[in-house]
Structures are given as structure tokens and as C-alpha cells.
């Protein structure tokens, strides 16, 4: 089992999809559920993060379901694409995908995301991404007393800055195999 998280726009979902397709994992995209809930309410992800900061019921629902899947399907080839799965699926290979702030903003502005059009420029895109990241870190620290940005929480911290998603997926899979081999010892 692999759990993957990281910086906004770092390519987590793309890499998770590649790992699933190329190496036979089932992709569980927790972030899509979060985005759908924001869309249902007609608000941005950043606004939904603020809402969740004052009402933890949605986080708890998602996190309890993530933990249940991790327990019930512990022997299956799953890849969780999620902010907090690394915490709720403790017996997983935990990956954090890093990215510079400048590249985060570039990727958002050059993406096909619906919400990219609300940004006037690169600076406003970056400010939104950094605010979103800050809100998430604060929220999960408050809810679970963990720092999702602490690299010590992960088995692999890797940058997606100057590497294709396919090459990144191959490196992650290679490190995952080493993790599996070492856990057998």
C-alpha cells in the first residue's frame, strides 16, 4: 500500500494514476471527494478548507473512511492520493511530493483546472496556494496533532520539479519495492 501527499500542484494525482495504471494499484483519490464537496457548495477549495476548519465533521468522515479502507484492505495493492492517508494508514509506504513555490504557481496557471481563471496573475495564484496549504496544515494539526509538512512523517520525500511524472512514478515504485523488501526482514 502506498500513501501519497505533498505540495499543491506537485503532481500527486498524476503520479498516483500512473502508479495505478503501470504497476497494478487501485487508485483511491480522496482529494476528488473533497473537490466535489466544494463544488456542490459552489465554493473554492480554499473556501471549503476554511469551512472545514470550523466544522471538523467532514474531515472526520473522510479520515474514518480512509482508515477503514486501510484496515479492511491491508493486503491489497492500493495507492491513496490524500493529504492525510499517511496518518490513517500507518502500514503504508508514505510518499511526500515536494515542489518549489514558483513552480506551484506556474503549474496552477498552466493547468486545465476550472478554478485557475480566478487568479489575476502568478502572485495571486501563489498566494491562494500558500494560503490553502497553511489552512490544511493548521487544520490537521488542530484535529490530529500532526504536521503534514514535516518530512520525518514520510518514507520518501521527492521533488517533482525537474522530472516527468512517469519518471517520478518509476522512482517511487522502485523505492516502494525496497520498502517492502526491508519490511520483510
- The number of domains in the chain is 1
- Listed in sequence order, the residues at least 6 apart from 108 whose beta carbon sits closer than 8 Å to its beta carbon are 8, 9, 116, 119, 125, 129
Do the Cβ atoms of 81 and 31 come closer than 8 Å? yes
pLDDT of 116 > 60? The answer is no
User: pLDDT tens, 64-115?
Assistant: 888 989 999 998 999 999 888 999 998 999 999 999 989 988 888 777 765 5
Angle, alpha carbons 13-57-46 (nearest 5°): 50
**β strands within 7-106, DSSP E:** 26-29, 78-81, 93-98
Domain range spanning residue 78? 2-183
Model confidence band, residue 117 (pLDDT cutoffs 50, 70, 90):
low
Query: What is the model's pLDDT at position 110?
Result: 78
pLDDT of 169 > 90? The answer is yes
How far, CA to CA in Å, does 46 sit from each of 19, 35, 38, 129, 171? 28, 10, 9, 8, 31
Question: pTM for the full model?
Answer: 0.84
Query: Mean pLDDT in the chain?
Result: 88
Handedness of CA 72, 77, 78, 79 (dihedral sign): positive
Q: Strand order in 78-81's β-sheet? A: 26-29, 78-81, 2-6, 93-98, 156-159
CATH number for 150? 3.40.50.300
Amino acid at each position: 500500500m502506498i500513501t501519497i501527499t505533498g505540495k499543491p500542484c506537485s503532481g500527486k494525482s498524476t503520479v498516483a494514476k500512473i502508479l495505478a495504471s503501470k504497476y497494478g494499484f487501485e487508485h483511491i483519490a480522496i482529494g476528488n471527494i473533497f473537490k466535489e464537496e466544494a463544488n456542490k457548495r459552489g465554493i473554492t477549495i480554499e473556501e471549503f478548507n476554511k469551512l472545514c476548519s470550523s466544522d471538523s465533521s467532514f474531515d472526520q468522515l473522510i479520515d474514518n473512511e480512509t482508515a477503514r479502507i486501510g484496515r479492511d484492505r491491508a493486503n491489497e495493492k492500493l495507492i491513496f492520493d490524500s493529504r492525510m492517508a499517511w496518518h490513517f494508514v500507518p502500514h503504508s509506504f508514505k510518499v511526500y511530493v515536494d515542489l518549489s513555490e514558483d513552480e506551484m504557481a506556474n503549474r496552477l496557471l498552466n493547468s486545465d483546472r476550472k478554478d485557475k481563471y480566478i487568479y489575476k496573475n502568478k502572485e495571486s495564484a501563489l498566494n491562494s496556494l500558500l494560503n490553502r496549504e497553511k489552512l490544511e496544515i493548521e487544520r490537521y494539526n488542530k484535529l490530529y496533532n500532526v504536521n503534514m509538512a514535516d518530512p520525518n512523517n514520510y518514507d520518501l520525500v521527492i521533488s517533482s520539479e525537474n522530472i516527468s511524472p512517469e519518471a517520478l512514478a518509476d522512482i517511487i515504485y522502485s523505492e516502494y519495492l525496497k520498502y517492502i523488501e526491508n519490511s520483510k526482514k
